Amino acid sequence: MINFDFTGTEPFLDKTLWDGYVRRARAAHNALLTKTGAGKEWLGWRDMLSSPNDALIEDLTTLGEEIAENADVLLCIGIGGSFLGAEAVIQALSPYFPTPAPAATTGGPRSVSVLFAGHHLSSSYLTELLRHLEGKSVYVNVISKSGTTLEPAVTFRIVREWMEATYTDHAKRIIATTDHSKGALRTLASQKGYRNYVIPEDVGGRFSVLTPVGLLPIAAAGFDIRSLFYGAVSMMKELESADDNPAIEYALRRYLLHEQGYSTEILSVFEPKLKGIGAWWQQLFGESEGKEAKGLFPAVCTFTTDLHSLGQYIQAGKRNLMETFLVSDKERNTVLVPHDETNLDGLNYLAQTPLHSIGEAAYQGTAKAHQQGGVPTVHINLPSISEESLGRLIYFYEHAVSVGGYLLGVNPFDQPGVEAYKQEMFALLGRP
């Protein structure tokens, strides 16, 4: 079970209107469950958990095993929700320093490296990526509902040319994840004979990690997508009730702080593996709530690293911040601080102390100091960094941001503002 602690927000909340806000939050929760709120046509991310497609999960698992067996690299091309979720889960579950897959001639177990492209326009990155792929066995998963989003579309055009020049069986090595019936990528996949998977029409990109968008790369990386998916199913069932509902609590407290003038939420992690979850959370909340001059600005910090750069501002800067700590107390090891006869660094008082105990003290001390400095705090503690717990966390955040959007009075499932930069960019590029 994920543990949620909201007591760190209590001293900062105006509780005089608490009962009325609780009723509003429960109404927002009910609007999500009954599909009566704004954007109700975009709730496929809940429907697919209510009626799991076990055959699809098995098919994706099998293809993931094929890719792992035959490829050194799976290159995923996508942007925003088409890569952040997969990258987050893979990063959280992977070792920091994975053993490279052996050459095909050596025999023995293989592992595939999942790389990402199409999420920016760096020519240096793509040039070095193609150089890195030379001599390797490569599969490509291109992910786009339309196939015309500039960054992944132009990247795939370049990568596709490279694949066709490199492999005689290039069509077998390219998998398209796209719309079920329309769009440029759907047409190209049909023309080229690519294997393909469907992005459900009623699932927006930032909610798509538990569809083939995220599940295929995660499966190829060697992780249990069934446990991930059913972790989300379990959390959804637990959050059906409005009583003792942490998603409602989180959404309500964020909204109350927003109404009291807070403008930023920091998601702080002490395990660097969770930074990718923060990047996924950042899009989910920023794109869902940032409308009509409303919403908390989402930012991610990795501690203790960022305590040496942003710690001063968090502690004593403008008091417009709330902070959520995302931690896991089960990620432990046997690293001990050794005794040193010279003790020049003065650290012998920590001799034989497990490093994770020092990290726990850093977490507790940071949380206490920040709260005393005027920062409302929330604590989310994962029982472990596992497929099941990540699935539960993903659904928790999706449910919470939906309730939060309705509290703000915005549609949490559209993103009209993202078109503005595109219009200006395309004008400069001379797009017809």
The tens digit of pLDDT for each residue in 418-432 reads 666 667 766 766 778
**Residues in Cβ contact with 55 at an 8 Å cutoff, skipping those fewer than 6 apart:** none
The tens digit of pLDDT for each residue in 59-90 reads 999 999 999 999 999 999 999 989 999 999 99
pLDDT of residue 190: 94
Report the range of poorest mean pLDDT among 111-125, 198-212, 347-361, 410-424: 410-424
| For residue 264, cis peptide bond before it (omega within 30 degrees of 0) | no
List active site positions: 287, 308, 422
pLDDT of residue 104: 46
Question: For residues 273 and 96, is the Cβ–Cβ distance under 8 A?
Answer: yes
Residue 44 to residue 98: CA distance in whole angstroms: 35
Q: How confident is the model at residue 44 (pLDDT cuts 50, 70, 90)?
A: very high
Q: Would the pLDDT of 106 be above 60?
A: no
Q: Would the pLDDT of 417 be above 70?
A: no
Q: What percent of the chain has pLDDT over 90?
A: 87
The tens digit of pLDDT for each residue in 350-407 reads 999 999 999 999 999 999 999 999 999 999 999 999 999 999 999 999 999 999 999 9
The tens digit of pLDDT for each residue in 259-315 reads 999 999 999 999 999 999 999 999 999 999 999 999 999 999 999 999 999 999 999
The tens digit of pLDDT for each residue in 142-196 reads 999 988 888 999 999 999 999 999 999 999 999 999 999 999 999 999 999 999 9
Domains and CATH numbers, the chain: 3-36+230-417 (3.40.50.10490), 45-223 (3.40.50.10490)
Residue 98 to residue 259: CA distance in whole angstroms: 45
pLDDT of residue 31: 97
Residue 28 to residue 288: CA distance in whole angstroms: 15
AA letter at 428: L
User: Which backbone phi and psi does 313 adopt, to 5 degrees?
Assistant: -65, -45
Q: What percent of the chain has pLDDT over 70?
A: 94
**Average pLDDT for the chain:** 93
Burial 144-178 (b: 16+ CB within 10 A, else e): bbebebebbbebbebbbebbeeeeeebeebbbbbb
pLDDT of residue 26: 96
